[in-house]
């Protein structure tokens, strides 16, 4: 059985790139009727962020990922939280020392960091020179007994090459002389990522290891650990990076990238998932819209791209708008109303008015929070015209006459109804002999402050006669 895992670190809230990693691992497993495992990699205690772990569970639940094994649904390979597995890492690290594949290192951490920084300033790459490689095991144990601080480092071969086959990037070969003696076990007893993920993947029987392509060149280090510990090598699937449209990195701090902000702003899980699936992967057909079940059926590792995938918030908005338009009116009202209620005081508005306002913009918003932006003109007395609006109003001699006639007609309306407003607009058209853009756009601008928008008659009706008259006066 194919077994994949998603192994996030709770050092910040998940972003689009994290979701894509989880999704691809999930699709690879479920396409083959395999198992998807969630493991929490919390060994970086200094960067642990309160609430981030619970958000991981929430995201997987919101996006309908069914974890076959996890900290909340344990199987036979637990525990599924790394901080609960420290005894295992220590056991295997000491075994590697005993067998000659690792060694105790007593180098001062600050000293090494200073050397590394100096190399960086000189634009050189620093590789730990193996200062403690040749300290005998007897001497090392004596120094440990005397209370010296130490780490355990992997002893890399100095000659030859290490190679493997990646299911996306093909055959990869690295000369061993370029592999640094990585730290396996830190001085606080916690493992490094490089070590813990190998132990956990092997003991949890992960058959297909999935991760970003930034690990392509470091995978040989992990393979040497698999071999030294006599673990069976898994298959490797490296994904292309997810970058922004301008080529910059995705960030947990950016609201356009951060899942918690996207969800809170009214981006739909099904839209996000659909869009994210197409970043760095393409289906056989040109079809763009997929449910999770359809993605499971369609997903093919051979169609994962090698080049970075571009994440564009505007493209996500396009997907999200499609899913909003596909909602029934009832679903849409239930989805969007809380955003309006949170932002504006609706106590003096009728249920009919609220419903009509929200439905007016069903085909005009791309995310839930946007309803508060596009409806702003319905909740204030005065409007300000931007330069484009002013330029248009001054672009044709007939426009001022159109506005004057509209003022006269709207003042004469006795009963405020859509039918009577429609009569007003038709009267303006008849009396000014203008139509199209020169008729509708001047009216829209002076009553709403926008050059474009939904149905003009509905817009005028919902703004209300008193507010319209005040705006015309201003």
Q: What is the pLDDT of residues 328-374, one digit of tens each?
A: 999 999 999 999 999 999 999 999 999 999 999 999 999 999 999 99
- The residue among 104, 128, 262, 65 whose CA lies nearest residue 185 is 104
Residue 252 has pLDDT above 80, yes or no: no
Please report the sign of the dihedral spanned by the C-alpha atoms of residue 453, residue 454, residue 455, residue 461: negative
Between 279 and 13, residue with greater pLDDT:
279
Cα gap 367→151, rounded to integer Å = 50
To the query of whether residue 252 is one of the catalytic residues in this protein, the response is: yes
- The residue among 173, 212, 175 whose CA lies nearest residue 193 is 212
Contact by Cβ (8 Å): 256, 232:
no
Contact by Cβ (8 Å): 404, 434:
no
Cα gap 197→82, rounded to integer Å = 9
pLDDT band at 255 (very low <50, low <70, confident <90, very high): low
Secondary structure (DSSP) of 30-67: HHTT-EEEE-B----GGG--TTHHHHHHHHHHHTT---
User: How many alpha carbons fall within 13 Å on the CB side of residue 455?
Assistant: 15
Neighbours of 106 (CB within 10 A): 16
Neighbours of 194 (CB within 10 A): 16
Q: Which CATH class is domain 85-239?
A: alpha beta
> Cα–Cα–Cα angle for 367, 371, 374, nearest 5°?
115
Helices (H) and strands (E) in the chain, counts: 20, 11
Domain segments of the chain: what residues? 1-69+240-326, 85-239, 387-473
pLDDT tens digits, one per residue of 115-170: 999 999 988 888 999 999 999 999 999 999 999 999 999 999 999 999 999 999 99
Contacts (Cβ under 8 Å, ≥6 apart) of 323 = 268, 270, 271, 274
Coil/strand/helix, residue 434:
coil
The fraction of the chain above a pLDDT of 70, given in percent, is: 99
Cα gap 261→257, rounded to integer Å = 8
pLDDT band at 245 (very low <50, low <70, confident <90, very high): confident
Cα gap 430→428, rounded to integer Å = 5
What are the start-end ranges of the H helices in 122-268? 137-145, 193-203, 219-228, 259-264
| Section 292-321 average pLDDT | 96
Q: Which of 155, 221, 244, 252 is catalytic?
A: 252
Whole-model pTM: value is: 0.91
Q: Note the CATH number of domain 1-69+240-326.
A: 3.40.50.620
Measured in Å, how far apart are the chain's first and last C-alpha atoms? 72
Whether 85-239 shares its CATH topology with 387-473 is answered no
Q: Note the CATH number of domain 387-473.
A: 1.10.10.350
pLDDT band at 48 (very low <50, low <70, confident <90, very high): confident
């Amino acid at each position: 059985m194919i077994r994949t895992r998603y192994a996030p670190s709770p050092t910040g809230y998940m972003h689009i790139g994290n979701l894509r990693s989880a999704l691809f691992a999930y699709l690879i497993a479920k396409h083959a009727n395999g198992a998807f495992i969630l493991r929490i990699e919390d060994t970086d205690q200094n960067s642990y962020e309160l609430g981030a772990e619970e958000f991981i569970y929430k995201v997987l639940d919101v996006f309908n990922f069914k974890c076959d094994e996890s900290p909340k649904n344990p199987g036979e390979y637990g525990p599924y939280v790394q901080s609960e597995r420290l005894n295992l890492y220590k056991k295997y690290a000491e075994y590697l020392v005993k067998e000659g594949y690792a060694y105790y290192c007593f180098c001062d951490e600050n000293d090494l960091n200073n050397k590394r920084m100096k190399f960086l300033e000189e634009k050189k790459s620093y590789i730990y020179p193996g200062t403690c490689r040749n300290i005998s095991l007897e001497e090392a144990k004596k120094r440990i007994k005397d209370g010296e601080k130490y780490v355990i480092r992997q002893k890399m071969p100095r000659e030859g090459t290490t190679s493997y086959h990646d299911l996306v990037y093909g055959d990869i070969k690295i000369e061993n002389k370029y592999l640094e003696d990585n730290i396996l076990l830190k001085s606080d007893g916690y493992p490094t990522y490089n070590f813990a993920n190998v132990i956990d993947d092997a003991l949890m029987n992960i058959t297909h290891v999935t991760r970003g392509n930034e690990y392509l060149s470091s995978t040989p280090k992990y393979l040497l650990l698999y071999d030294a510990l006599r673990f069976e090598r898994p298959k490797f699937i490296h994904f292309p990076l997810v970058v922004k449209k301008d080529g910059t990195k995705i960030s947990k701090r950016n609201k356009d990238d951060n899942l918690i902000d996207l969800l809170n702003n009214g981006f739909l899980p099904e839209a996000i998932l659909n869009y994210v699936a197409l970043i760095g992967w393409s289906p056989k057909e040109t079809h763009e819209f997929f449910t999770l079940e359809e993605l499971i059926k369609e997903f093919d590792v051979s169609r994962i791209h090698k080049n970075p995938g571009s994440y564009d918030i505007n493209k996500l908005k396009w997907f999200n708008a499609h899913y909003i338009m596909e909602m029934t009116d009832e679903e849409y009202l239930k989805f969007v109303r809380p955003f309006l209620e949170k932002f504006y005081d609706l106590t003096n508005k009728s249920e009919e008015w609220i419903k009509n306002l929200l439905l007016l913009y069903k085909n005009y918003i791309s995310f839930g929070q946007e309803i508060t932006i596009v409806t702003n003109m319905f909740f204030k007395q005065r409007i300000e015209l931007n330069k484009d609006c002013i330029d248009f109003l001054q672009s044709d001699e007939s426009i001022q006459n159109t506005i004057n006639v509209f003022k006269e007609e709207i003042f004469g309306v006795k009963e405020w109804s859509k039918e009577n407003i429609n009569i007003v607009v038709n009267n303006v058209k008849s009396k000014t002999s203008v139509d199209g853009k020169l008729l509708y756009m001047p009216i829209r601008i002076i009553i709403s402050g926008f050059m474009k928008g939904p149905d003009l008659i509905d817009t005028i009706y919902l703004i209300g006669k008193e507010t319209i008259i005040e705006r015309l006066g201003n």
